[in-house]
Amino acid sequence: MALHGWLIIDKPVGPGSTDVVSAVKRALRAGGYPKVKVGHGGTLDPLASGVLPVALGEATKLCGRALDSDKRYEFTIRFGVETSTLDAEGEVVVTSEKTPSEAEVHAVLPRFTGTIEQVPPSYSALKIDGRRAYDLARSGEAVEMKAREVTVHSLQVLPGTGRGAAGTAVEGARRHAECVESPLHHASHGPPPRAGEDLGGITLSASVSKGTYIRSLARDIAYALDTVGHVTMLRRVKAGSFGLSHAISLDKLGELAQARQLEQALLPLTAGLDDIPALPVTPDQARALREGRRLVGIAAKPGLHLATDASVPVALVELSEGELRVVRGFNLGHEGV
């Protein structure tokens, strides 16, 4: 039976999002599962770890909603060094002897909460005249990124994550591989700093809208503190309704596939629609919706609904001006929930 739903992968540092999609495809083949479409619901940079929703089968029709959802991250800013990529992968481009105190960090965070303007990193997947910005940057071409509005719903320092400056910031950048902290131990920076002590780095938690670049947020926070900085650890802890409690490692993915038990980790297609109310329909109405026809006389509140026939998802529908129309239809039998 073909699988339709979500596998939530705890992506490690190293592979990119498309690499994880390829790993899921290999796991499906290894387990002898029928071939289905596979897609992801939100890009994570290779140096980032954490929640990566991977959609299978009919759930791929909801990847756009997953991409548009809010995300929550934990990330460490290392002060005193800015790199070309704004993370530990790039070359050092600017250094500063200034390192802020934890009190100073707390004081500037309100300036980055709410709707803000942000300039994306030049090393990003955004397109400029049809070309990826990171391709232009890597070829040495000048890249001018335009500011855009994003929303930071919350931004706070994770308790006990400040670290007193040790050695020079430049030395830390040259050993940037050591600065990419284990995602399982990202809050382990030694004892909290004493009151007033300058910080070499600090770890924050941020809940943000789609399109927000954490690397840019870290850069701008450092600028507001009259210094520079870059991200040394980035971990996504939530994407839309999916959190780490749902996630499995790539090793676990392989084990489940070999045992032909991927269903144990598979979340239903509807898991990506937990904010959408269900709208039960009759078999005749379900047939009409599958044919793309509009329905009238449906007793429900205006807005988006998930039409279901005996609990089987039929379509994502919208009720407006008395008409129910299909936004996205699903081709599922009664076994494919």
Catalytic residues, by residue number, are: 45
Pairing of strands 92-95, 131-132: unpaired
Dist CA 118 CA 16 (whole Å)? 24
Instruction: Give me 87's structure tokens.
Output: 């993370």
Contact 334, 311 (CB under 8 A): no
The amino acid that residue 139 corresponds to is: S
Query: Residues with Cβ < 8 Å from 230, sequence gap 6 or more?
Result: 77, 78, 81, 82, 83, 85, 86, 87, 88, 90, 173, 215, 218, 219
Answer whether 221's CB lies under 8 Å from 206's CB.
Answer: no
* Nearest one of 213, 269, 252, 202 to 236, comparing CA atoms: 213
According to DSSP, residue 182 is labeled -
278-280 and 303-309 beta bridge pairing: parallel
What residues form DSSP beta bridges with 328? 316
User: Using CA atoms, how far apart are residues 111 and 115, in angstroms rounded to an integer?
Assistant: 10
311, two tokens: 């609990």
Which residue carries 């407006």 as its tokens? 320
To which H or E segment does residue 239 belong? strand 229-239
Say how far apart CA 262 and CA 270 lie, in whole Å.
17
